[in-house]
A and B are shown apart, each in its own frame.
Chain A
Amino acid sequence: MGGKTKSTTLDLRMETSPQPRLLRILTVFTILGFAGTLVLGFAVAGTDIQQGEIQRIFYIHMPSFFGAFTAFGLTVVGGIIYLARKSETWDRIALAGVEVGLAFSLINLLTGSIWARPIWNTWWTWDPRLTSAAIMCLTYAAYLMLRAGIDDPGKRRAFMSVYGILAFVTVLITLFIIRIVPETIHPVIVGASPQNAQGGFEATSGVVIALLPSLLLWLTLMPITIMWHRVRLEARIEALNLLKLQALSE
Chain B
Amino acid sequence: MKTPFFNCVTAVISKDLRAEIRARELVSVMALFALLSLLVFSFALELDKGAREEAVSGVLWVTLVFASLLGFNRSMSQERDQGNLDALLLAPVARTAIFVGKLLGNFIFTLIVGLAMLPLMTMLYGLNLLDGWIILTEAIGIFGLATIGTLLATMTVQTRAREALLPIALLPIALPFLLTAVRATKGILGGAPASEWQGALGMLAAISVIYLVLCLLLYEYIVEE
Contacts and interface: CB of A to CB of B under 8 A. Distances in A.
Q: State if A and B touch, Cβ cutoff 8 Å.
A: yes
Interface of A: 83, 128, 132, 135-136, 138-139, 142, 145-146, 149-151, 154-155, 158-159, 161-163, 165-167, 169-170, 173, 180-181
8 contacts: A136-B172, A145-B165, A159-B158, A162-B221, A163-B152, A169-B173, A169-B207, A180-B180
B179 interface: yes
Main secondary structure of the interface of A (DSSP, over half): helix
Contacts of A154: 225
Tell me which of B156, B175, B224 has the highest count of chain A C-beta atoms within 10 A of its own C-beta: B175
Contacts, number: 78
B211 A169 contact: yes
A161 B221 contact: yes
B139 to A, nearest CB: 20
A165 B219 CA distance: 12
Contacts of B175: 132, 135, 170, 173
Tell me which of B148, B156, B179 has the highest count of chain A C-beta atoms within 10 A of its own C-beta: B179
Interface string B173-214: 101100110010000000000000000100100010011001
Main secondary structure of the interface of B (DSSP, over half): helix
Nearest to A162: B218
Contacts of A155: 158, 225
Interface residues of B, number: 30
Interface in B118-150: 148
A158 B221 contact: yes
Contacts of B211: 166, 169
B168 A142 contact: yes
B222 A169 contact: no
A189 B218 CA distance: 37
B200 A83 contact: no
A146 B165 contact: yes
B222 A167 contact: no
A151 B172 contact: no
Given A150-B159, A166-B148, A166-B151, 10 more contacts: A132-B179, A149-B165, A158-B222, A159-B159, A159-B222, A162-B155, A162-B218, A169-B214, A173-B179, A180-B180
B161 interface: yes
B173 A149 contact: no
